[in-house]
Amino acid sequence: QKEVEQDPGPLSVPEGAIVSLNCTYSNSAFQYFMWYRQYSRKGPELLMYTYSSGNKEDGRFTAQVDKSSKYISLFIRDSQPSDSATYLCAMTPSYNTDKLIFGTGTRLQVFP
Amino acid sequence: GAGVSQSPSNKVTEKGKDVELRCDPISGHTALYWYRQSLGQGLEFLIYFQGNSAPDKSGLPSDRFSAERTGGSVSTLTIQRTQQEDSAVYLCASSKSSGQETQYFGPGTRLLVL
């Protein structure tokens, strides 16, 4: 079993929809949680970064961490065709913050 | 400023040949990371450098894989006697320092082993 599980999708939604992307994990030592966005044939770029539990909002994006359930989410409001990409969750424990552990990524398609 | 660059962008090689992949980090970034992205596997950590030292090589899949970094800048990932299962996208990232700093990724090198 992988340390981080993520549904690969694809997830197809109409423009303007609210998108929910999720990851579950098994290592209770994970403390730092990230969401990366990766466009086709490009490298991943950091979208959101959260430490421990709680919510964080940045524009149309909201990241949530529920450590008791070992579950993290990324919500995208008013989704746009330009949001079409693969979204990867990543996390690290506090004792080794250099080695990012990634989910497999969820491919999102937002159609006009 | 310039981001992380990698070369070549694509590489096709024959099974059994050696390949070298190059990464140029963002200027001034002391930490450098290599990851591998295979279909359906997500990104897997391979190795990271702080300066020219590699404190964590735990992700290198076999002794056919090695990496070095010189002058605290450019890094080379070498795969000897390539196998078909080595086919993947090899991504490099750099950050200002090790620890909880944002890792900035390059576009990757797409390796195909025939």
- Residue A46: beta bridge partners? A36
Where helices occur in chain B by DSSP H, the ranges are none
B89: amino acid identity, one letter: V
Of A103, A107, A90, A87, give the one whose Cα is nearest residue A5: A103
**pLDDT tier at B16 (50, 70, 90 boundaries)?**
very high
- Residue A4: beta bridge partners? A25
- Residue B67: beta bridge partners? B77
Question: What does the mean pLDDT of chain A come to?
Answer: 94
- The CA distance from A1 to A20, in Å, is 23
Determine phi and psi for B28, rounding to 5 degrees: 90, -10
Is the backbone peptide bond immediately before B8 cis, with ω within 30 degrees of 0? yes
Of A3, A16, A4, give the one whose Cα is nearest residue A77: A16
- Asked if the C-beta of B46 comes within 8 angstroms of chain A's C-beta atoms, the answer is no
Residues A92-104: what's their mean pLDDT? 88
Is A103's pLDDT higher than 90?
Answer: yes
- The CA distance from B83 to A39, in Å, is 28
Closest partner residue to A100 (CB to CB) among B4, B103, B106 is B103
Beta-carbon separation of A103 and B42 below 8 A: yes
- Asked if the C-beta of B71 comes within 8 angstroms of chain A's C-beta atoms, the answer is no
Q: What is the pLDDT of residues B17-46, one digit of tens each?
A: 999 999 999 999 999 999 999 987 789 999
